[in-house]
Chains A and B, each alone.
Chain A
Amino acid sequence: AQTVTQSQPEMSVQEAETVTLSCTYDTSENNYYLFWYKQPPSRQMILVIRQEAYKQQNATENRFSVNFQKAAKSFSLKISDSQLGDTAMYFCAFDAYSGAGSYQLTFGKGTKLSVIP
């Protein structure tokens, strides 16, 4: 079974600054995907960024980038130029082929990020 650990329950960052959210995972799988999801107060789950384990290059989406360290099983999210709209819960998620043709997401418990004006 896979586990995902987010060790920072809450974080804060000044507007326009950079913040890094941590995520580690444990798996025996070699083929998998990793995601960061954002959940604002509206409750909607929004995909922020996606990383495929077989790709060494770190994924980037505008102000969001990841530091993927496969050997260390680490997948951190960096938010640059933080904006007030980035205030949300952030969930790290792991998705592995389970052998029966299905993909199942395993989530961490989340990090609550507050962007301070």
Chain B
Amino acid sequence: NAGVTQTPKFQVLKTGQSMTLQCAQDMNHEYMSWYRQDPGMGLRLIHYSVGAGITDQGEVPNGYNVSRSTTEDFPLRLLSAAPSQTSVYFCASSYSGTGYTFGSGTRLTVV
């Protein structure tokens, strides 16, 4: 099925560990982005990309890295996990304002 695929769905990390959240879309969308959702905060933008090779920071980028080597993939890297990064992470893709398609989310717990 066409859409946005996120892996893993759940993850527990120890403080200081690193990991990569994977995101792939098969709709040939230009725009991809990562959001985090915390209770009472809505979704906040971490990083986004307007095409392969182009990325930029969103509202809450600290502690995260991204790269976009292909149109399809947009991984999010946690460099040194901290308890403050416990959250639900969503990847989304869009074709120029038509509405964003979201992945099913990754629930990350940092202990």
Contact = CB atoms under 8 A, between A and B. Distances in A.
Question: Are A and B genuine complex partners?
Answer: yes
Interface of A: 4, 33, 35, 37, 43-45, 47, 50, 52, 91, 93, 95, 97, 100-110
A47 B96 contact: no
Interface stretch (B18-26, B72-80, B99-107): B99-107
A95 B92 CA distance: 13
Interface in B29-71: 31, 33, 35, 40-45, 48, 50, 56, 58
A91 B97 contact: no
Q: Is the interface of B mostly helix, strand, loop or mixed?
A: strand
A7 to B, nearest CB: 13
B42 A47 contact: no
A105 B97 contact: no
Given A45-B90, A100-B56, A103-B31, A50 B99 contact: yes
A8 to B, nearest CB: 14
Which of B41, B43, B44 neighbours the largest number of chain A CB atoms within 10 Å of its CB? B43
A97 B31 CA distance: 12
Contact of B92 (A4, A101, A105): A105
B42 A110 contact: yes
B94 interface: yes
A102 B92 contact: no
B88 interface: yes
Contacts, number: 62
Given A45-B90, A110-B42, A104 B99 contact: no
Residue among A4, A35, A47, A103 with most chain B CB within 10 A: A103
Contacts of B102: 37, 44-45
A44 B98 CA distance: 18
A105 B104 contact: no
A37 B105 CA distance: 15
B42 A109 contact: yes
Contacts of B98: 50
